[in-house]
Amino acid sequence: MSVIYRPVGWTRSKIVYDAVLLAGVALYLIAFMRFAPRTRLPGTLLDDQSLAIRAYGTCAFLLLTLVLMIGPLARLDARFLPLLYNRRHFGVITCVVAASHLIAVLDWYFAYSPLSPWVALFATDAAYGDLRGFPFIPLGLAAFVILLVLAATSHDFWLNFLTPPVWKSIHMSIYAAYALVVGHVAFGALQDARNAGLPALVMGGSGVLLALHLTAAWRERRRDRVAPAADAEPDWIVAGMIGDVPAGRGLVVPLADGSSVAIFRENDALSAISNLCAHQNGPLGEGRLRDGCVVCPWHGYEYRLRDGCAPAPFTERVATYAIRLDGRTILLDPRPNPLGTATQPLAIPKETP
C-alpha cells in the first residue's frame, strides 16, 4: 500500500463486497420498476422515464444513507466492522447511481429545451424567495458535484497528494451532500408525493441516521472519560482491568490530550500501540489481530504489536506505549515511545483470569 499506487488493488474481499453491493442495487432497481407502478393512485399515469428517474433517485438516497450509517454502526457493534473495509467502493457506486438519476432527468425533462440542458437546470425555476416553491434542482446538482469530487479523490494517491488532514476535511463534506439531498427531495418530489413510500424513506432514513450518530457519539463520550491512577505514579493512568481486554481485540483508552491508545491481548500477553492508523487515522482498536499484527478495520493497513511498524516492504509506523500491572489493573504510561521502539509484551500471570 505504501510502496506503489495501483488504480485498484483487487482482492477477494473487495470483489465479494462490490459484487454483493452491485447485486443489491440491481435487485432494488428491478423491484422498483416492477412494483412501483402498482402503488400509484387510480387514474394517474407513470411513464417509464419518470419511473426510472424515481428508481435511480430513491436508490441513490438509500445508498447514501447506508454509507453514512456504516460508521456509527461499527462503533456500536463490531459485527459491522467488515462493512468499513471498502466503504469507499460503496461511495463510488452511490455516485454512479446518482449520475444515472441526473442523466435520466436531463434526457427526459430537458431533451427538447431550446436552452442547453445545463442552463435550463438553473433557468427553469428561480423563485428563491418563495419557500413553498424553492428551487430544488440546484440543491440536488450541488449534492451530486460533492459526490463526484469525493468519488474522484477516493484513491490513496489523492490522500497522499492532498495530505490526510486536507483529504479528510474534503470527504467530511459528504454530510453537506446528504443535507442537500434531503432538501432536494423535500422541496421537490415530496411536494407531489401520492403515497407514504417516499416520505417514509426520507424521514425514516434520515431519522435513523441521526439517531445512530447521536447514540454512537454518546457512547464515545462516555468512553473518552479518562480515569486517573489512584495508587500509581502521577504520570500513569488506569487503562482498565485485564478482563476488559477481549481476546484478539483491542481496548481503547482515551488520553487527556485527545488521542487514544489501543491495548491488545494475544497469547496471554498485553501490548499497547496508538489507536490511530498512520494511513488515515482509522481506529486500530477496532481492528483484528493476525500473526502478531493489528489490521486496521478501514483499509487493511497492518502494524506489529511489538514495535508499531508495518511489515516490510511497507513503511508506516505508529507509536507504542508502556504498560504494567497492578494486580488485575492495567496501568498505562500516556507518553508515547519514539516511533519504531520495540516493547516486550506484558505477560499476564497464570493465576489471573
**CATH code of 262's domain:** 2.102.10.10
Does residue 3 fall inside a structural domain? Answer: no
Residue 309, pLDDT > 60, answer yes
User: Do 173 and 246 share a domain, yes or no?
Assistant: no
pLDDT (mean) for 32-37: 84
Q: Give the sign of the dihedral formed by CA 153, CA 154, CA 156, CA 159.
A: positive
175 or 35, higher pLDDT: 175
| Residue 7 lies inside a defined structural domain of this protein | no
What is the C-alpha separation between 129 and 334, in angstroms, rounded? Answer: 55
Is 118 found in the same domain as 77?
A: yes
Sign of the torsion formed by the C-alpha atoms of 74, 298, 246 and 233: negative
**By C-alpha distance, which of 285, 271, 296, 165 is closest to 224?**
285
pLDDT in tens, 250-278: 888 888 887 889 999 888 888 999 998 88
End-to-end CA distance of the chain: 39
pLDDT of residue 180 exceeding 60, the answer is: yes
In this structure, the answer to whether residues 165 and 271 fall within a common structural domain is no
Structural domain boundaries enclosing 254: 237-347
Using alpha carbons, select from 299, 315, 209 the residue that is nearest to residue 14: 299
Please tell me the least confidently modeled range out of 12-26, 69-83, 230-244, 288-302. 230-244
Lowest-confidence segment of 27-41, 84-98, 306-320 by average pLDDT: 27-41
Task: Please check whether residue 150 lies inside any domain of the structure.
Answer: yes
> What are the pLDDT digits (tens) for 215-244?
988 887 766 554 544 444 558 888 888 888
Round to whole Å and give the CA distance between 83 and 65: 14
pLDDT of residue 127: 64
Residue at 33 is within a domain: yes
How many domains does the chain divide into? 2
**One domain, residues 74 and 167:** yes
Do 144 and 209 lie in a common domain? yes
Provide the grid cell at 210: 441521526
